[in-house]
Structure 1
Amino acid sequence: MDIFWHILWSNVLPLTLMIAVGFTMQRLFSLDIKTLSKLNFYVFSPAVIFNLLYTTDISASLIGQVLLFVALFMTLQAVAVESVVRLRGLEGGMRGAMRNSVLFYNSANYGIPLNQLAFSANPYTLSIQIIVMVTQSLLPNTYGIYSVNSHKMSFRSTLRTILSQPIIYVIPIAFLLHGFQVQLPQSIETPITYLSDAFIGTALVTLGVQLGNMKWELNPVLIKNVLLANGLRLIAGPALAALVVWVLGFFFTIDHLMAAALIVSSSVPTSLSSVLLAVEFDNEPEFASQAVFLSTLISIITVAVVIFLLHI
């Protein structure tokens, strides 16, 4: 029960309050959500990724192990969501929106604080979470963009859009600068830090603005799709992660901390990036917003259960 209340008060409540700020601002002033979306995509998100990679020491062997887990886990998740997409007969933009709501999860502003809480600020488990977060930052800016645009744009146009995303270039640059121990000038490092600190707040406010912009009609089909996406993300997600960890244990040693950190990292709710993609490319924004909002609320229970089971 202590874990439950910690998650509620330390993670979910602060997130909900910031979402409420965006919701209220939208109702009062009708903000331009496209501008907010572009700020998140092209400024704040690249800054936080660069800052974390540049300032964190992560071994090559750990990166390799975590990336192998991520590849297998994402493959199983993709198979699961694709099965639902086909069984539901989803078409057009809803196919991509459903995939994004399951495959992209909140590994940054939910996953990192959760990791710190669940593992008592252990540097080893934090490094694991950062690697997961990097992959979850890269995927929406590559596959995610393709997913929401493939039904309405040519492959060449979609590729051009993907190559315009700063995050693709930020990740290798940050790794190289950190690897060669290049010291950034204070005039560059300081603004990057400021922009990085602004990421969580602006992303959550953007979600609130989108929620405030919605009509909130009780559409049974939409609600069913949202609940299916939440089930795949919050229940099937950690279950598949546990399966992958168990299988990998036959090929190389996975210590208890790594196994637990990987499973917890997979249990978090749908990522804000799915909303940002939906808004930026006008692809089922109502579904995406409801999937993020509802999964965040439901995760109060599901994440607590996952951590409880790991403790047992």
Structure 2
Amino acid sequence: MSYFVYILLNNVVPLSLLIALGVVLQRAFKLDIKTLSKLNFYMFSPAIMFQMLYESQLSLKIMSQVLLFFFVFFFALFGAVEIVIRLRGYKAGMRSAMRNSVIFYNSANYAIPLNQLVFVGDPFTLSIQIIIMMMQSLIPNTYGVYSVNAHRQKLKDTLKTILSMPVIYVIPIALLMRGFHIPVPHPVYISIDYIAKGFIATALTTLGVQLGSMKWQLKLHDVAISNVLRLCVGPLLGFLIVLAFGFHGDMAKALILSCAVPTSLSSVLLAVEFDNEPEFSSQAVFSSTVFSIFTVTFVIYLIQFVP
């Protein structure tokens, strides 16, 4: 029991406090969620993505293994949620919202500090999580934007929106500059560093602001389905894929942990930015974040027994 309490107090509660701060600020000052959403999409997220990729020590072998795991896991999870969507008979907007609430998970502002706490700042496990974060930043800014707009917008307009997302340019630029050892001018890098350091606090506070501004029209069945798929089916699939590929040690543990985190803030940002089931998306993020206190703690406990 003491181990569970340690994980809870040192891994999960610090993140939850920042979310709670956002709720309090929203209740007190009625902040503009659209502005916060744009700051996350166009400033904080690109900055931390560039910095982490540019500074990372990613080997080609590790990157290929993690990418293989990610794509197998992503499509397995996509298949699981697609079965549920068809059984439930969701309409177009709700279909994309349910998919996004399950396949987009909080691989950055929740998983990165969690990874660093669980593995005590291990650069190897951090590099694994950075690759996952890279993909989980790229896909919401491409497929995610497409999914919430496909049923109501022409393809040309949707592509125009996707091409306006800075993350899709930041990722290849950062990898190329790192690969060819191209230095970033010092004054520019100082600015990037300042912005990147504000990402976790701003993103978690934004989530709190959205939660604080919700109209609580509960969709208990749909939210519960999303939570079970994200918090229970996700890490189970991760474990099975790790087992199938024969991964072991810290790599296996880091990959399983990466699958266990709650629904991503990006699903809320997409829902708010493009007015696609924002109530359901907010509730899914909120409830998965709350329940992750227990499920993530349990997963962290279990991965200690992974060989």
User: Is the TM-score greater than 0.5?
Assistant: yes
CA distance in 1: counterparts of 2:215 and 2:110, whole angstroms: 27
Q: Contact (CA 8 Å) 1:12, 1:296: kept in 2 or not?
A: no
Partner of 1:82: 82
CA distance in 2: counterparts of 1:10 and 1:110, whole angstroms: 13
Show structure 1 runs of 5+ residues with no match. Answer: none
CA distance in 2: counterparts of 1:227 and 1:61, whole angstroms: 38
CA distance in 2: counterparts of 1:164 and 1:23, whole angstroms: 30
Partner of 1:21: 21
Partner of 1:275: 268
Query: Do residues 225 (structure 1) and 222 (structure 2) align?
Result: yes
2:233 is matched with which residue: 210, 220, 236?
236
Residue 263 of structure 1 deviates from its aligned partner by 0.6
Question: Partner of 2:120: helix, strand, or coil?
Answer: coil
Partner of 1:211: 211
Partner of 2:194: 194
Query: Do residues 290 (structure 1) and 283 (structure 2) align?
Result: yes
Question: Partner of 1:269: helix, strand, or coil?
Answer: coil
Partner of 2:12: 12
Residue 120 of structure 1 deviates from its aligned partner by 2.5
Residue 74 of structure 1 deviates from its aligned partner by 0.3
* TM-score normalised by L of structure 1: 0.94
| Mapping 1:1-312, distance limit 5 Å | 1-217=1-217, 219=218, 222-249=219-246, 254-312=247-305
CA distance in 1: counterparts of 2:215 and 2:295, whole angstroms: 28
Deviation sequence 1:214-254 (CA, Å, 0-9, x none)? 1213x3xx1111111010011000111111112222xxxx3
* TM-score normalised by L of structure 2: 0.96
CA distance in 1: counterparts of 2:91 and 2:4, whole angstroms: 38
Sequence identity (%): 59
Q: Contact (CA 8 Å) 2:11, 2:117: kept in 1 or not?
A: no
Question: Partner of 1:289: helix, strand, or coil?
Answer: helix
Residue 6 of structure 1 deviates from its aligned partner by 3.2
Question: Partner of 2:198: helix, strand, or coil?
Answer: helix
CA distance in 2: counterparts of 1:102 and 1:164, whole angstroms: 24
Deviation sequence 1:256-307 (CA, Å, 0-9, x none)? 2211111111111111111111111111111111111111111111112212
- Amino acid corresponding to residue 284 of structure 2 in structure 1: A
CA distance in 1: counterparts of 2:193 and 2:130, whole angstroms: 17
CA distance in 2: counterparts of 1:110 and 1:30, whole angstroms: 25
Aligned CA RMSD, in angstroms, stands at 1.3
- Amino acid corresponding to residue 230 of structure 1 in structure 2: N
Q: Contact (CA 8 Å) 1:7, 1:300: kept in 2 or not?
A: no
- Amino acid corresponding to residue 104 of structure 1 in structure 2: F
Question: Partner of 2:209: helix, strand, or coil?
Answer: helix
Residue 213 of structure 1 deviates from its aligned partner by 1.4
- Amino acid corresponding to residue 87 of structure 2 in structure 1: L
Residue 121 of structure 1 deviates from its aligned partner by 2.1
Residue 14 of structure 1 deviates from its aligned partner by 2.2
CA distance in 1: counterparts of 2:97 and 2:269, whole angstroms: 11
Show structure 2 runs of 5+ residues with no match. Answer: none
